[in-house]
A and B are shown apart, each in its own frame.
Chain A
Amino acid sequence: MSEPQRPNERSPEAEPWSARNAEQSQVKTEDVPDWSAELPGERGKSTFAQRLKAVVLEALERARAGLSMREDNFFLLLSVIIGLYAGLAVVCFRIAIDYTRLWLLGSGINPGPIRVVLVPTVAGLLLAFIVLRIFPRVKGSGVTQTKSAVYIYDGYISFDTVIGKFLTCALAIGSGQSLGPEDPSLQMGAGIASALGRRLHLSREKGRLIAPVGAAAGLAAAFNAPITAVLFVIEEVIGTWSAGILGAVVLAAVAAVVVMRLFLGAQPLFQIPPYSMAHPTELLSYAALGVLGGIMSLIFVKLLRWVRARTRRLPRWTLYLQPALAGMMIGGIGLKFPQIMGAGYEYMDQAMHGQFLWRTLVALALLKVLATSLSISSGAPGGMFAPALFVGAMVGAAVGTLQHQFFPGAAGPLGAYALVGMGTLFAGFLRAPMTSVFMVLEVSGNYSIIVPVIISNAIAYVIGRRFQQTAIFDLMTREEGLDLPSMEEGREQTTLLVENAMRKPAGLILKASDLVADAYSRLGDMTEDPLLVSYDTGRWTLVHKSALQDAARAGKGGQPLSQILTSGRLPRLHPDQSLDLALRLIRDAPFLPVVHRADARHLVGLLSLDDILAAYRRASIIKSGAVE
Chain B
Amino acid sequence: MEFSQVCPKCGRTIPQGQIVCHCSMRPRRYWLHSRETILLLCVLGLVVAFGITGFAAQLYHGRRAELARSWFDRGNAELKAGRAAAALSDFRAALVYAQRELSRDEQQQYELNFVRALIATGNSDAARSYLLDMWDRAPGNSPVNLELAHLTARMGNDADAKRYYNGAILGVWDQDAGDVLRRRLDVRLELYHYLMDRGEKTEAQAVLLAMATAIPPDPALHAQVGQLMLQAGQPQQALQQFQQALRLDSRNYEAMAGAGEADFQLGNDRDAVRYLENAIREDAQQKRRPGARANDSGSRETEQAHVVENLAIAQATLALDPSRLGLDPRERARRAIRDYDAAVIRIESCAKEHGIALPEPSRNLTPFTDAASDELAEVTLARHIEQLDPLMEFIFEMESAATENCGPPADATNAAIVRIGTRTHASHT
Interface residues of A (CB under 8 A from B): 1-3, 5-6, 9, 11-13, 24, 31-33, 57, 60-61, 64, 67-68, 74, 77-78, 81, 84-85, 88, 91-92, 95, 98-99, 102, 107-110, 152-156, 158, 196, 198-201, 204, 207-208, 259, 263-265, 267, 271-274, 346, 349-350, 352-355, 404, 413-415
In B77-114, which residues have CB < 8 Å from any A CB? Answer: 89, 92-93, 96-97, 99-100
> Quick one: given A154-B8, A263-B57, are A413 and B31 in contact (CB under 8 Å)?
no
> Quick one: given A152-B3, A346-B96, are A95 and B39 in contact (CB under 8 Å)?
no
What is the bound-complex CA distance between A63 and B97, given in angstroms?
Answer: 50
Q: Which chain A residues lie closer than 8 Å to B97 at the CB level?
A: 107
Chain B residue at minimal CB-CB distance from A354: B129
**Is B46 in the interface zone, CB < 8 Å from A?**
yes
Chain A residue at minimal CB-CB distance from B24: A11
**Least Cβ distance of A229 to chain B in Å?**
20
The residue in A60, A61, A273 that gathers the most chain B C-beta atoms within 10 A of its C-beta is: A273
What is the bound-complex CA distance between A333 and B152, given in angstroms?
Answer: 37
A-B contact pairs, 5 of them (CB 8 A): A5-B25, A198-B8, A259-B53, A354-B133, A413-B133
- A60 adjacent to B42 (CB under 8 Å): no
**Least Cβ distance of A513 to chain B in Å?**
58
- A61 adjacent to B49 (CB under 8 Å): no
Contact of B96 (CB < 8 Å), options: A109, A199, A271: A109
Q: Which chain A residues lie closer than 8 Å to B67 at the CB level?
A: 102, 107
Q: Which chain A residues lie closer than 8 Å to B20 at the CB level?
A: 11, 13
- B133 adjacent to A353 (CB under 8 Å): yes
Q: Which chain B residues lie closer than 8 Å to A2 at the CB level?
A: 27
Chain A residue at minimal CB-CB distance from B58: A263
Chain B residue at minimal CB-CB distance from A13: B24
What is the bound-complex CA distance between A585 and B71, given in angstroms?
Answer: 71
Chain B residue at minimal CB-CB distance from A148: B3
- B130 adjacent to A353 (CB under 8 Å): yes
What is the bound-complex CA distance between A88 and B47, given in angstroms?
Answer: 11
> Quick one: given A92-B56, A110-B89, A265-B100, are A355 and B126 in contact (CB under 8 Å)?
yes
- B39 adjacent to A78 (CB under 8 Å): yes
Q: Which chain B residues lie closer than 8 Å to A102 at the CB level?
A: 63, 67
**Least Cβ distance of A23 to chain B in Å?**
12
Q: Which chain A residues lie closer than 8 Å to B155 at the CB level?
A: none
**Is B38 in the interface zone, CB < 8 Å from A?**
yes
Q: Which chain B residues lie closer than 8 Å to A77 at the CB level?
A: 39
- B42 adjacent to A81 (CB under 8 Å): yes
What is the bound-complex CA distance between A98 and B64, given in angstroms?
Answer: 10
- A196 adjacent to B27 (CB under 8 Å): no
**Is B9 in the interface zone, CB < 8 Å from A?**
yes
- B92 adjacent to A156 (CB under 8 Å): no
**Least Cβ distance of A559 to chain B in Å?**
60
Q: Which chain A residues lie closer than 8 Å to B89 at the CB level?
A: 108-110
Q: Which chain B residues lie closer than 8 Å to A3 at the CB level?
A: 27, 29
What is the bound-complex CA distance between A349 and B92, given in angstroms?
Answer: 11
Q: Which chain A residues lie closer than 8 Å to B36 at the CB level?
A: 64, 67-68
In B247-261, which residues have CB < 8 Å from any A CB? Answer: none
- B8 adjacent to A264 (CB under 8 Å): no
- B31 adjacent to A60 (CB under 8 Å): yes
- A200 adjacent to B133 (CB under 8 Å): no
- B35 adjacent to A200 (CB under 8 Å): yes
> Quick one: given A155-B8, A353-B130, A354-B126, are A413 and B53 in contact (CB under 8 Å)?
no
Q: Which chain B residues lie closer than 8 Å to A274 at the CB level?
A: 136
Q: Which chain B residues lie closer than 8 Å to A355 at the CB level?
A: 92, 126, 130
In B284-319, which residues have CB < 8 Å from any A CB? Answer: none
**Is B371 in the interface zone, CB < 8 Å from A?**
no
**Least Cβ distance of B59 to chain A in Å?**
8
- B29 adjacent to A31 (CB under 8 Å): yes
- B35 adjacent to A156 (CB under 8 Å): no
- A264 adjacent to B57 (CB under 8 Å): yes
Q: Which chain B residues lie closer than 8 Å to A64 at the CB level?
A: 31, 34, 36-37
**Least Cβ distance of B116 to chain A in Å?**
15
**Least Cβ distance of B411 to chain A in Å?**
63
**Least Cβ distance of A486 to chain B in Å?**
20
A-contact 0/1 string along B47-76, CB 8 Å cutoff: 001100110110010011001000100000
- B38 adjacent to A199 (CB under 8 Å): yes
**Least Cβ distance of B101 to chain A in Å?**
8
Contact of A156 (CB < 8 Å), options: B8, B54, B57: B8
What is the bound-complex CA distance between A74 and B38, given in angstroms?
Answer: 12
- Apart from A61-B31, A95-B56, list 15 A-B contacts with CB within 8 A: A12-B24, A13-B8, A64-B36, A67-B36, A81-B46, A88-B46, A92-B56, A95-B57, A98-B60, A156-B8, A196-B42, A201-B9, A264-B57, A273-B133, A355-B92
Q: Which chain A residues lie closer than 8 Å to B50 at the CB level?
A: 88
**Is B217 in the interface zone, CB < 8 Å from A?**
no
Q: Which chain B residues lie closer than 8 Å to A199 at the CB level?
A: 38
**Is B43 in the interface zone, CB < 8 Å from A?**
yes
State the 5 A-B residue pairs at the shortest beta-carbon distance, nearest first: A273-B136, A154-B8, A354-B129, A263-B57, A265-B100
**Is B363 in the interface zone, CB < 8 Å from A?**
no
**Is B216 in the interface zone, CB < 8 Å from A?**
no
Contact of B31 (CB < 8 Å), options: A57, A88, A108, A198: A57
**Is B10 in the interface zone, CB < 8 Å from A?**
yes
What is the bound-complex CA distance between A600 and B56, given in angstroms?
Answer: 66
**Least Cβ distance of B21 to chain A in Å?**
9
- B130 adjacent to A108 (CB under 8 Å): no
- A200 adjacent to B38 (CB under 8 Å): yes
- A153 adjacent to B43 (CB under 8 Å): no
What is the bound-complex CA distance between A200 and B132, given in angstroms?
Answer: 55
**Least Cβ distance of B106 to chain A in Å?**
14
What is the bound-complex CA distance between A419 and B9, given in angstroms?
Answer: 43
- A99 adjacent to B49 (CB under 8 Å): no
Contact of B93 (CB < 8 Å), options: A57, A99, A109: A109
Q: Which chain B residues lie closer than 8 Å to A264 at the CB level?
A: 57, 100
The residue in A152, A259, A263 that gathers the most chain B C-beta atoms within 10 A of its C-beta is: A263
Q: Which chain B residues lie closer than 8 Å to A57 at the CB level?
A: 31
The residue in A108, A350, A413 that gathers the most chain B C-beta atoms within 10 A of its C-beta is: A108
Chain B residue at minimal CB-CB distance from A21: B35
What is the bound-complex CA distance between A273 and B24, given in angstroms?
Answer: 57
What is the bound-complex CA distance between A346 and B101, given in angstroms?
Answer: 14
**Least Cβ distance of B77 to chain A in Å?**
15
Q: Which chain B residues lie closer than 8 Å to A68 at the CB level?
A: 34-36
What is the bound-complex CA distance between A122 and B60, given in angstroms?
Answer: 25
Q: Which chain B residues lie closer than 8 Å to A158 at the CB level?
A: 11
- B11 adjacent to A198 (CB under 8 Å): yes
Q: Which chain A residues lie closer than 8 Å to B64 at the CB level?
A: 98
Q: Which chain B residues lie closer than 8 Å to A267 at the CB level?
A: 100
Q: Which chain A residues lie closer than 8 Å to B137 at the CB level?
A: 271-273
What is the bound-complex CA distance between A437 and B411, given in angstroms?
Answer: 84
Q: Which chain B residues lie closer than 8 Å to A204 at the CB level?
A: 8
Contact of A92 (CB < 8 Å), options: B30, B53, B71: B53
Contact of A85 (CB < 8 Å), options: B8, B31, B46, B99: B46
**Is B6 in the interface zone, CB < 8 Å from A?**
yes
What is the bound-complex CA distance between A486 and B263, given in angstroms?
Answer: 90
A-contact 0/1 string along B136-173, CB 8 Å cutoff: 11000000000000000000000000000000000000
Chain B residue at minimal CB-CB distance from A14: B20
Chain B residue at minimal CB-CB distance from A275: B136
**Least Cβ distance of A158 to chain B in Å?**
6
What is the bound-complex CA distance between A273 and B35, given in angstroms?
Answer: 49
Q: Which chain B residues lie closer than 8 Å to A33 at the CB level?
A: 29-31
**Least Cβ distance of B121 to chain A in Å?**
13
- A153 adjacent to B133 (CB under 8 Å): no
- B71 adjacent to A91 (CB under 8 Å): no
The residue in B6, B38, B46, B53 that gathers the most chain A C-beta atoms within 10 A of its C-beta is: B53
Q: Which chain A residues lie closer than 8 Å to B25 at the CB level?
A: 5, 9, 11
What is the bound-complex CA distance between A273 and B144, given in angstroms?
Answer: 14
- A85 adjacent to B60 (CB under 8 Å): no
Q: Which chain B residues lie closer than 8 Å to A265 at the CB level?
A: 100
What is the bound-complex CA distance between A12 and B6, given in angstroms?
Answer: 16
Contact of A24 (CB < 8 Å), options: B6, B27, B34: B34
What is the bound-complex CA distance between A22 and B136, given in angstroms?
Answer: 61
